[in-house]
Structure 1
């Protein structure tokens, strides 16, 4: 038997060890708490920071007239006030998210204890996170940082500290107002007003009980309880919210039963500004770049989402809306025709292609990293679930697998359109894609595509510069170039099959004849043409290949906008810009952006005016004549259509005295094009975007200064240089003695040779054969 004294000693040692252990744990906790409190794990917002929550103001993006294009905000003060929130919505929120909201000081100790014992000790994940509405508000506004294994405790402590500070500075009503205006809801929306309008087409004040309960129910899991994607699951969650309201005395049994008996009736509101988001992103990125080097008077950095700035842009909101509508209508017209042409074997149904695309996704890579087998991954890729998709500009829900979603997105054609003032370089309208919801990739800012025949005016301009004239005739005969792997450029149509037919340069450009374009490039010289192109605003690399004449160069839309602006601005190349100034909420100018002076191209004004006249003829008689016949446009307009190989890219470049518009239509996946040239040519895909735009502008008096402007007149000498028949056929003796061989070597002439040849061309006026 043990002696009593020994037991007492052991007990005392145990007590001392326990006290010591608890003391150590407490000390470590205090040290840990202190390290968080004093900012060793990053900033903990103080009273000054928290005061800015209520003072935060949205930054406004304005068009050149001062109209609001959009707002950038972290917390939108203009959204809704507490007085506009129905009582049943407040009750639903408190009953579900934080039943003791009116009793605690920002941290609910009872909930924390429950979470500790149930979640940590018992492993019960259904016990919740223990965060109060105030703590959730902190997380919504300031987010969370990553600290490895310490992420959860550090972030929780930060939120607890800041939540207590908020409770001291704001009333419970103000906290609820802040929370409901910042909390993320389903449908990728922030704030109660936005989500009420999205799902029910109502303001918050108009919500009924079951609608409020539905929206509050989505807070537990935004995606899983999205009422559009998962209506049955969302309704069950709504009923849980209503039951909580009954439990805490906010509803009677009769009211609760009545509300739960009603099905969820959504009324989805379609936002119509998705095309504008490309420009918003462009502006935001540029402003953030500029403000990174500018400090406020107190030495702190500007916040684009909180400081109530005003960003003045060059955009014309009225013209922007017209362009957005034109792009939208054209895509809605083309999409079903594009799909129908492919019939039963379209590329978006090709399993091999879909799997290839799927393997590039992050989801696939994550599964592969988990060592899942190929069959397991395939099962996951083919498992269907509700997905919100965009169909004909409207969102709808379909049951799709990941492969189905890839297939659905793969069939969507895209479009982009840019309008600028050719003299100043101001961007007037900007549609970076057909629909921001389908693809956030900005074609204008980030993409380079083959430009097809829209490059030919540069080639013909080079021809004029180096001695050719609009009424010089060049044979349209197809030739095989033996020093270029027997490359033989082809023409569309049958007229050029006559080996003895010659076209004037004016006619060849008007009708986009490939064989003549290559011969013009040969006459001018490739390197000379590239140098001219660079002087016109092209910065992308241009390959020294004869195929350059056919538009194989990959260019950005802004480069084309500069080139075509030079044609109507007497050879002056503008520098594009889209922001004029940034001001504070008091009107103080923070940054100002001056238009840079245009740079002259290497094409002299005389030749430039002749080239513009040839482009006017493209609209009057050539590939763009439907602007006259279909859209009834009688204004001064020049332009050029373009179509790339396999109809992958359709282009139209429009030139007017006060407006240049570049439009592209195609597919994000460069391997997919239109099935036929009949449908996929630029005259059919891209030209109508400008046609509708300009026709709509012509009906509004505010745009008379654009649509009624005229090109400068032609001098008698210029008119004479353009006055000729379109084609000539070789005479009998020339046909009899001409060398009819169809093979030759492509001659890459030097600039010096071309300058010399150009002199004799102008002196003797020799006609090209």
Structure 2
């Protein structure tokens, strides 16, 4: 033989070259097999193969609120797959599926030689269902010029191992649970629900063929975007089924005649019930999971491990709260825009608009890239189709980025938090008007001046310091240090010769008296009382704190108000009760956190509730009775901040605390006037709408029918005083008593002004 090779040198070199190529191939294959390009899963790992599963977020009674996932997979069993779905897959993707052991050797060699020798990345072909499954599970990595070959060989090795571990039925099941479909959907069950709004087991023949058809190129054959293209691909699948004997030719032709009909449902994580709450849960649970490890010593992953997170949220109350918010905010937005008319700052204030542009992330990014301000502003003026939020539906308009920023600048936003006062369990959480377009959470992230909702802290401190509830104060204006002179917001002219009780002053939200009560009680004592009630944020030591110049969150305010309904103890808001693995094993459990020290006495607590009941029955929140017809036992407090920037309302039932806030995201834009911006008009109606809905549902009878305990006779006598009384004649004639606070300068009318209505010189 060797003598023959000597006589034929061409043959000799051909054999050498072929032997060298074969050696290189086996060396290359061996390097992949033994993990030079990355460790490959062994049979043990494949036997315990776990697909990424979505973590479920459940409401208090087990209702599904939403899911956290990388790929929204909802695994199903083989028995839930219709036979024609399986047949469509095999006929289209791998006709010899039941004959091979995961790889088609001929096709694999073809791919190798075409990819290496001809550099043809489109060599394709030969990709069996098992090979595709290997790719679906482990993905592909970038290995440079040899990437496509390395990945395909790795997939071939994994496919062979999969065939050794799993039966053909199990491989089909795994494939359908992992394969990607159009619109970022993974797994047949999720795709079936998204495109046809039905479970996989209920798919028709043509629907099954449509879903299998899009596997060739999920975007190109997306039936939502390209219905005709998808229909033609569906028909190819049907004819393939006829070709391999799964359908008769007549059945295939009959199916081809049917139109393509979708029932498309979008299950975006940004949509659905309680998106702000779910985002808060995600942040909280992710931190908890960083401290936990499974049996293998690996940290749990909220997106992959199929956990179950149980929360306190009341599903029905959340639905009602969101609906009440949208109903009111849509109407309030119309009032807000109409009040500005042609002078809207989001249209006319060029400086404001430029500031908004320059503070945007896009502007900062372009600035970092080296563009000049003029160039950036030019880009911001370029128009393009853009989806814009409106209450009557999302609109697509041809607008510039600057136009879009101005559009969102006009919207008012809102926050609502409802707590069970004894435990702090969150019942409803609305962080804004639409999570898709307004990500900022106005329950936990935003801090705004709280206005008159701070006044109950002042009056609580006063009662605790020993002030008699029948103490009377004049509503006259007083000037304090630095020339600050608070006035009352009410349009009603108050009699300067009239003094008012604490109950009247709080229920009618008289600013002048709130500051006088603060100064007599002591600013330090009021701040200390607020701390005892659970306020952690900075509180300025200034007289204006009585009017709510401190900036606090909705969450913090709700916590503080639980003290009035929980025997003087504040309850930390909590919302996750338990984290479980996919098998129901408890990984972490959480319980209410109640302050150990009482913030005030029972007497103070009951008197304060009585005063806040008066706010609803005869004070600034009477529209709860008159406009909304609510008959529940209610207490509450309205709040409006300076220049009508923020509207607040705190509603109290014996077993519920509900705080609502409304205002503009941009603090430079306030309500045009107090009529629209006052808390009774801007924030109170959201609470009212929620309670109206709860009153109609018997499931909430325990909350809506609850009654405040009547004041004990002893406290009734203490508070049994006229809401207002006049100064005696001498006090009115000569200017009253000496000022209690040396920093105050009362604007009292002098003797001649009282008699003749003339201005007293020196009394300005």
In the superposition, the TM-score normalised over structure 1's length comes to 0.78
| Aligned position for 1:647 | 644
| Aligned position for 1:328 | 326
| Aligned position for 2:230 | 238
Aligned length: 728
Q: Partners in 1 of 2:169 and 2:375 — Cα distance?
A: 51
The answer to whether the 8 Å contact 1:217/1:237 transfers is: no
User: What whole-Å deviation, never above 9, does each CA across 1:207-238 have from its counterpart, x for those lacking one?
Assistant: 6858965896598576x98777xx5xx34753
Q: Does 1:688 align with 2:680?
A: no
| Aligned position for 1:764 | none
Q: Partners in 2 of 1:378 and 1:236 — Cα distance?
A: 42
1:188-227 map, 5 Å: 189-198=185-194, 201-203=197-199, 205-206=202-203, 209=206, 213=210, 220=217
Q: Partners in 2 of 1:347 and 1:227 — Cα distance?
A: 44
- CA distance 1:33–1:51, change in 2 (3 Å): closer
The answer to whether the 8 Å contact 1:580/1:592 transfers is: yes
SS in 2 for 1:434: coil
Q: Does 1:294 align with 2:255?
A: no
- Of stretches 202-211 and 707-716 in structure 1, the one that deviates more from structure 2 is 202-211
Q: Does 1:618 align with 2:591?
A: no
| Aligned position for 2:311 | 313
The answer to whether the 8 Å contact 2:562/2:570 transfers is: yes
**Structure 1 residue 565 displacement after superposition:** 0.9
* From 511, 515, 520, the counterpart of 1:514: 511
| Aligned position for 2:430 | 431
1:259-408 map, 5 Å: 274-304=272-302, 309-349=307-347, 353=352, 356-368=355-367, 371=370, 377=376, 380-388=379-387, 390-392=389-391, 394-395=393-394, 397-408=396-407
| Aligned position for 1:709 | 706
* From 460, 483, 488, the counterpart of 2:485: 488
Q: Does 1:418 align with 2:424?
A: no
- Of stretches 394-403 and 625-634 in structure 1, the one that deviates more from structure 2 is 394-403
Q: Partners in 1 of 2:372 and 2:117 — Cα distance?
A: 34
- CA distance 1:600–1:335, change in 2 (3 Å): same
The answer to whether the 8 Å contact 2:386/2:398 transfers is: yes
| Aligned position for 2:570 | 573
* From 602, 606, 613, the counterpart of 2:603: 606
Q: Partners in 2 of 1:433 and 1:520 — Cα distance?
A: 35
SS in 2 for 1:653: strand
SS in 2 for 1:495: coil
User: What whole-Å deviation, never above 9, does each CA across 1:214-266 have from its counterpart, x for those lacking one?
Assistant: 896598576x98777xx5xx347536745865996879999899979978877
Q: Partners in 1 of 2:343 and 2:659 — Cα distance?
A: 32
The answer to whether the 8 Å contact 2:417/2:429 transfers is: yes
1:170-185 map, 5 Å: 170=166, 177-182=173-178
The answer to whether the 8 Å contact 2:646/2:661 transfers is: yes
User: What whole-Å deviation, never above 9, does each CA across 1:120-171 have from its counterpart, x for those lacking one?
Assistant: 98899x8899988767656665667899999999878766655554455456
Q: Partners in 2 of 1:201 and 1:148 — Cα distance?
A: 42
**Structure 1 residue 722 displacement after superposition:** 2.4
The answer to whether the 8 Å contact 1:521/1:546 transfers is: yes
| Aligned position for 1:738 | 735
* From 652, 677, 681, the counterpart of 2:674: 677
SS in 2 for 1:491: coil
Q: Does 1:558 align with 2:555?
A: yes
| Aligned position for 1:753 | none
Q: Partners in 2 of 1:219 and 1:681 — Cα distance?
A: 59
- CA distance 1:394–1:610, change in 2 (3 Å): same
- RMSD, matched Cα: 5.0
The answer to whether the 8 Å contact 2:451/2:548 transfers is: yes
- Of stretches 617-626 and 681-690 in structure 1, the one that deviates more from structure 2 is 681-690
- Of stretches 372-381 and 449-458 in structure 1, the one that deviates more from structure 2 is 372-381
Q: Partners in 1 of 2:429 and 2:129 — Cα distance?
A: 41
The answer to whether the 8 Å contact 1:36/1:158 transfers is: no
- Of stretches 497-506 and 604-613 in structure 1, the one that deviates more from structure 2 is 497-506
User: What whole-Å deviation, never above 9, does each CA across 1:405-437 have from its counterpart, x for those lacking one?
Assistant: 444444443322222221122222333333332
- CA distance 1:567–1:99, change in 2 (3 Å): same
The answer to whether the 8 Å contact 2:107/2:125 transfers is: no
1:136-155 map, 5 Å: none
- CA distance 1:206–1:584, change in 2 (3 Å): closer
The answer to whether the 8 Å contact 1:466/1:524 transfers is: yes
- Of stretches 91-100 and 155-164 in structure 1, the one that deviates more from structure 2 is 91-100
Q: Partners in 1 of 2:152 and 2:682 — Cα distance?
A: 55
Q: Partners in 2 of 1:122 and 1:143 — Cα distance?
A: 22
Q: Partners in 2 of 1:148 and 1:449 — Cα distance?
A: 53
The answer to whether the 8 Å contact 2:235/2:256 transfers is: no
The answer to whether the 8 Å contact 2:415/2:430 transfers is: yes
Q: Partners in 1 of 2:634 and 2:714 — Cα distance?
A: 22
In the superposition, the TM-score normalised over structure 2's length comes to 0.78
Q: Partners in 2 of 1:189 and 1:380 — Cα distance?
A: 34
Q: Does 1:535 align with 2:532?
A: yes
User: What whole-Å deviation, never above 9, does each CA across 1:535-575 have from its counterpart, x for those lacking one?
Assistant: 10011111112221111211122221221111122312223
Q: Partners in 2 of 1:212 and 1:194 — Cα distance?
A: 16
The answer to whether the 8 Å contact 1:75/1:181 transfers is: no
SS in 2 for 1:573: coil
Q: Partners in 2 of 1:148 and 1:452 — Cα distance?
A: 62
SS in 2 for 1:549: helix
Q: Partners in 2 of 1:465 and 1:665 — Cα distance?
A: 32
- CA distance 1:175–1:354, change in 2 (3 Å): farther
- CA distance 1:320–1:256, change in 2 (3 Å): same
**Structure 1 residue 620 displacement after superposition:** 0.9
**Structure 1 residue 492 displacement after superposition:** 1.8
**Structure 1 residue 91 displacement after superposition:** 8.5
Q: Partners in 2 of 1:648 and 1:509 — Cα distance?
A: 21
Q: Partners in 1 of 2:484 and 2:112 — Cα distance?
A: 75
SS in 2 for 1:443: coil
- CA distance 1:726–1:253, change in 2 (3 Å): same
**Structure 1 residue 276 displacement after superposition:** 1.9
Q: Partners in 1 of 2:397 and 2:258 — Cα distance?
A: 26
Any unmatched runs of 5+ in structure 1? 1-8, 749-769
SS in 2 for 1:581: strand
The answer to whether the 8 Å contact 2:425/2:573 transfers is: yes
- Of stretches 431-440 and 150-159 in structure 1, the one that deviates more from structure 2 is 150-159
User: What whole-Å deviation, never above 9, does each CA across 1:75-111 have from its counterpart, x for those lacking one?
Assistant: 7775655666678877988899899988793699969
- CA distance 1:601–1:473, change in 2 (3 Å): same
- CA distance 1:207–1:534, change in 2 (3 Å): farther
The answer to whether the 8 Å contact 1:412/1:667 transfers is: yes
- CA distance 1:538–1:300, change in 2 (3 Å): same
- CA distance 1:241–1:532, change in 2 (3 Å): same
The answer to whether the 8 Å contact 2:730/2:736 transfers is: no
User: What whole-Å deviation, never above 9, does each CA across 1:23-73 have from its counterpart, x for those lacking one?
Assistant: 89996886577555554xxxx544444445567765544444444444556
The answer to whether the 8 Å contact 1:504/1:726 transfers is: yes
The answer to whether the 8 Å contact 1:574/1:599 transfers is: no
Q: Which has the larger radius of gyration?
A: 2
Q: Partners in 2 of 1:151 and 1:517 — Cα distance?
A: 74
